[in-house]
Amino acid sequence: MRSDDNDSNDILDDAQLLAKESMQRHEFLELEQTEPRFRDTTYGLLRGSGQLVESWERWWNTNVAARMRGLLTRPIGP
């Protein structure tokens, strides 16, 4: 994960943060479709390529920032 990802969320306005979250969510879901899906049902552990995991980390951090602002109300899952 790039260290500037979390900091960059703080400087975005609400519309920019929502656009970033949507783009990263779309990117993650596309990557997830190309790889076999193996999730540990007990802990919800994501397993996959480094690219998939990094994509999820970027999206998750942005998703959390948007939810903390009260901008997202949809379920977290796909």
Q: How far from 59 is each of 43, 45, 77, CA to CA, in Å?
A: 19, 16, 12
pTM of the full structure = 0.72
Per-residue pLDDT tens for 12-58? 999 999 999 999 999 998 988 888 665 554 556 677 888 998 999 99
Domain boundaries, the chain: 4-68
Calpha distance 76→13 (Å, rounded): 21
One-character DSSP codes across 12-63: S-HHHHHHHHHHHHHHHHHHHHHS--EEETTTTEEES-HHHHHHHHHHHHHH
Rounded to 5 degrees, φ, ψ at 39 are -125, 135
Kindly tell me if the per-residue pLDDT of 3 is higher than 50.
no
